[in-house]
């Protein structure tokens, strides 16, 4: 990560490149791709417009590089979280917590994450995000395997592990967006137990479960 081996000139170049991407991240995440001009990125990063074009082919290329950069940070963090030792339940909990931490570390990523996982496929030229899409999908597959394991061990009901992963994804997203809007009002820390509880036990009371569902429980659909 820290390119200590390279000649100074190149090291500087990389640092400059990174500075531009950092400025761009902040601007794009606040106002979106089309509402940020190259001029503004130049100003914020304290380079000239011309320089931006030395580092990046064009505006879209800059955006793409920046998003990709962050996607890897994001993916690595979450990957580490679900790879830490423990059973499937632990790993799932690690994911929920780690995701909150990456987001908190850089709140502008909430917005980017949204664009990347659902939004931007529509916004830029088609094919833009194949690589990003790939990163996301690889991760989800790995995450799904956590649930496969949980099922094998008899921890989880036997339904589609990918859907289980997606459920965690969707649930955490919802609360992270809420938190991103009103961080003081909805601290993610406080919400984690709630998320975990829903995922693990659902919202029904024991009494209701018996009344509504009978003792029998759930016939897994799909798988």
Partner DNA sequence: AATATGTTTGAATAATAATTCATAGATTAT
Partner DNA sequence: ATAATCTATGAATTATTATTCAAACATATT
CB under 8 A, 24+ apart: contacts of 161-166 = 161/223, 163/222, 165/140, 166/140
DSSP secondary structure, 67-112, as one string: HHHHHHHHHHHHHHHHHSSS-HHHHHHHHHHHHHHHHHHTTHHHHH
Site membership for DNA, residue 38 (CB under 7 A) = yes
The binding track of 88-117 with respect to a second copy, each residue x by CB under 8 A or -, is -x---------------------x--xx--
Q: Give min distance, CB of 55 to DNA, in A.
A: 7
Give the length of the chain: 223
How many CB atoms within 10 Å of residue 129?
22
Site membership for DNA, residue 16 (CB under 7 A) = yes
The binding track of 47-86 with respect to DNA, each residue x by CB under 7 A or -, is xxxxx-xx---xxx--------------------------
Site membership for a second copy, residue 187 (CB under 8 A) = no
Site membership for a second copy, residue 18 (CB under 8 A) = no
Cα gap 16→124, rounded to integer Å = 25
Burial class (CB in 10 A: 0-12, 13-18, 19+), 162: middle
Element (H, E) at 168: helix 161-181
| Nearer to DNA among residue 37 and residue 123 (C-beta) | 37
Site membership for a second copy, residue 47 (CB under 8 A) = no
Burial class (CB in 10 A: 0-12, 13-18, 19+), 67: buried
Q: Give min distance, CB of 58 to a second copy, in A.
A: 16
The binding track of 169-188 with respect to DNA, each residue x by CB under 7 A or -, is --------------------
Which listed residue (49, 105, 107, 200) binds a second copy by CB under 8 A? 200
3-state secondary structure of 215: coil
* Residues binding DNA (CB under 7 A): 8-10, 12-13, 16, 34-39, 46-51, 53-54, 58-60
* Residues binding a second copy (CB under 8 A): 29-35, 89, 111, 114-115, 118-119, 122-124, 147, 150, 154-157, 159-160, 163-164, 166-167, 169-175, 177-178, 190-191, 193-195, 197-209, 212-213, 217-218, 221-222
């Amino acid at each position: 990560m820290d390119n200590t081996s390279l000649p100074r000139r190149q090291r500087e170049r990389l640092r400059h490149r990174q500075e531009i991407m950092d400025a761009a991240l902040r601007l794009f995440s606040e106002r979106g791709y089309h509402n940020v001009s190259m001029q503004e990125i130049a100003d914020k990063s304290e380079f000239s417009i011309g320089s931006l074009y030395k580092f990046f082919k064009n505006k879209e290329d800059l955006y793409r590089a920046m998003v990709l950069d962050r996607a890897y940070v994001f993916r690595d963090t979450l990957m580490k979280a679900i790879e830490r030792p423990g059973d499937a339940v632990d790993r799932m909990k690690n994911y929920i917590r780690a995701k909150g931490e990456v987001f908190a570390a850089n709140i502008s990523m909430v917005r980017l994450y949204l664009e990347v996982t659902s939004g931007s496929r529509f916004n830029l030229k088609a094919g833009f995000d194949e690589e990003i899409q790939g990163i996301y999908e690889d991760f989800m597959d790995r995450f799904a395997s956590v649930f496969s394991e949980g099922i094998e061990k008899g921890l989880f009901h036997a339904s589609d592990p990918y859907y289980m992963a997606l459920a965690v994804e969707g649930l955490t997203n919802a609360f992270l967006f809420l938190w991103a809007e009103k961080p003081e009002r909805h601290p993610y820390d406080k919400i984690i137990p709630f998320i975990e509880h829903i995922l693990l036990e659902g919202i029904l009371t024991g009494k209701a479960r018996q009344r509504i569902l009978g003792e029998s429980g759930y016939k897994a659909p799909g798988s």
